[in-house]
């Protein structure tokens, strides 16, 4: 199945029978072939039918998620399913949000259908009209609660549905503060006890409309968002380009010159670029891959020579660009594209 502890397949069986309020939950396991398909963003009909069968055991709406995440920001297109449109589309959005999460994505090993619990929603946000609910994240380790944080911070909200959303969040959090103490001493501590020999964890509770705090989500602590200034934060800093060297002024000039030699004329329709000086077209992907792969362009990639055997303007240009990049890479031992990307990112 999976040895990833942040997968719901790992943590959910350990807490599901505690008396802490939780959504009724059914698991949809994927077989090997389905897993391969789903992880390449294809949703086989067999998976849709498995999920449909499970959904039929619930009253609509239901909450659908994968073992790692729900794609919550796309809410009405993803995890929230009320039967008003195609189930397949929701499964696709949930899966796709997982596969596109962070840099390398989260693998999908199972799907879960959960009872939809009306939450104490303050307003909606994001493209999918996601309900923003009072939600608390605890961090636990060695049988103890280390700290807790409100999940929805101002910086995380986009496209809120009401004007005074900041005041609304603040007021609701102030009003609920007295409940946090009880939640810390009871439910969060109970979970901490279950995971006492199992490392560092985040545990999320969401406030329901009926007043209960619902245990909805867990993940390994290091992989969970944690305010930077919390002394218990151990989230490793991700260095996208650990070996990147700063681009020198000379490199920068070289890059600028190389850029200036080609006039990129993007044709929006067919995505081709033309070499303006010669007035003919070459496929953009062709030219990019040759440089990206650090390979010299093949003869077949090159613009044809004229019958007299002279180099055409196109070929000269092609050699200037790819030749100089190639030479520069050889002499510096560096990668043009990587350095260029670093520069564009301001690294």
Ligand X SMILES: Nc1ncnc2c1ncn2[C@@H]1O[C@H](COP(=O)(O)OP(=O)(O)O)[C@@H](O)[C@H]1O
Which chain residues interact with Mg ion by CB under 5 A? Answer: 217
The closest alpha carbon to 189, from 180, 24, 80, 127, belongs to 180
DSSP E strands in 227-301: the ranges are: 272-275, 280-283
Report the 10 Å Cβ neighbour count for 154. Answer: 10
Cβ-based neighbours of 84, under 8 Å, separated by 6 or more: none
Give phi and psi for 219, each to the nearest 5.
Answer: -165, 165
135 binds, among ligand X, Mg ion, none (CB under 5 to 8 A by kind): ligand X
Task: Identify which of residues 114 and 226 has a Cβ nearer to ligand X in the complex.
Answer: 114
- Which position among 30, 117, 180, 273 is part of the footprint of ligand X (CB under 6 A)? 117
- Which position among 63, 148, 275, 318 is part of the footprint of ligand X (CB under 6 A)? 63
Task: Identify which of residues 14 and 33 has a Cβ nearer to ligand X in the complex.
Answer: 14
- Which position among 43, 47, 69, 192 is part of the footprint of ligand X (CB under 6 A)? 69
Q: How far is the CB of 72 from Mg ion (least distance, A)?
A: 7
Q: How far is the CB of 72 from ligand X (least distance, A)?
A: 4
Cβ-based neighbours of 323, under 8 Å, separated by 6 or more: none
Give me the sign of the Cα torsion angle 37, 41, 44, 48.
Answer: positive
114 binds, among Mg ion, ligand X, none (CB under 5 to 8 A by kind): ligand X
Tell me how far CA of residue 248 lies from CA of 90, 239, 261, 341, 342, in angstroms: 48, 20, 20, 14, 12
Q: Which string of x and - marks every residue 209-248 that binds ligand X (by CB under 6 A)? A: -------xx-------------------------------
Tell me how far CA of residue 320 lies from CA of 86, 258, 279, in angstroms: 53, 8, 17
Please answer whether residues 112 and 65 qualify as being in contact, where contact means their C-beta atoms are separated by less than 8 angstroms: yes
Is there binding between residue 336 and ligand X (CB under 6 A)? no
Give phi and psi for 192, each to the nearest 5.
Answer: -60, -40
Q: How far is the CB of 199 from ligand X (least distance, A)?
A: 18
- Which position among 12, 50, 65, 90 is part of the footprint of ligand X (CB under 6 A)? 65
Count residues near ligand X (CB under 6 A): 17
Both tokens of 111, joined, read 């799907």
- Which position among 206, 291, 317, 325 is part of the footprint of ligand X (CB under 6 A)? 206
Is there binding between residue 23 and ligand X (CB under 6 A)? yes
Residues near ligand X (CB under 6 A) are: 23, 63, 65, 69-70, 72, 114-117, 119, 133, 135, 204, 206, 216-217
């Amino acid at each position: 199945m999976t040895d990833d502890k942040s997968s719901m397949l790992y943590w959910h069986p350990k807490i599901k029978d505690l008396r802490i309020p939780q959504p009724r939950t059914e698991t949809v396991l994927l077989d090997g072939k389905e897993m391969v398909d789903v992880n390449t963003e294809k949703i086989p009909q067999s998976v849709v039918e498995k999920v449909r069968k499970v959904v039929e055991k619930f009253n609509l709406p239901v909450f659908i998620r994968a073992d790692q995440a729900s794609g919550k920001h796309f809410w009405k297109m993803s995890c929230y399913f009320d039967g008003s449109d195609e189930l397949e589309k929701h499964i696709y959005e949930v899966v796709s949000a997982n596969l596109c999460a962070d840099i390398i994505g989260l693998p999908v090993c199972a799907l879960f259908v959960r009872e939809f619990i009306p939450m104490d929603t303050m307003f909606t946000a994001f493209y999918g009209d996601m309900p923003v609910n009072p939600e608390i994240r605890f961090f636990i380790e060695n049988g103890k609660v280390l700290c807790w944080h409100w999940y929805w911070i101002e910086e995380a909200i986009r496209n809120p549905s009401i004007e005074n959303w900041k005041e609304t969040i603040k007021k609701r959090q102030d009003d609920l503060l007295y409940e946090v103490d009880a939640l810390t001493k009871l439910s969060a501590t109970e979970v901490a006890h279950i995971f006492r020999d199992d490392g560092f964890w985040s545990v999320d509770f969401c406030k329901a409309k009926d007043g209960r705090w619902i245990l909805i989500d867990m993940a390994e602590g290091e992989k969970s968002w944690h305010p930077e200034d919390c002394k218990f934060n151990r989230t490793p800093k991700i260095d996208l380009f650990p070996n990147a060297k700063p681009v020198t002024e000379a490199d920068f000039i070289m890059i600028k010159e190389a850029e200036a030699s080609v006039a990129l004329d993007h044709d929006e329709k067919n995505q081709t670029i033309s070499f303006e000086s010669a007035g003919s077209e070459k496929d953009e992907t062709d030219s990019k891959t040759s440089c990206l792969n650090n390979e010299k362009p093949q003869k077949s990639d090159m613009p044809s020579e004229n019958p007299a055997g002279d180099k055409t303007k196109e070929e000269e240009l092609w050699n200037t660009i790819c030749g100089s990049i190639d030479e520069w890479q050889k002499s510096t031992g560096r990668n043009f594209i990587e350095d260029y990307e670093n520069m564009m990112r301001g690294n």
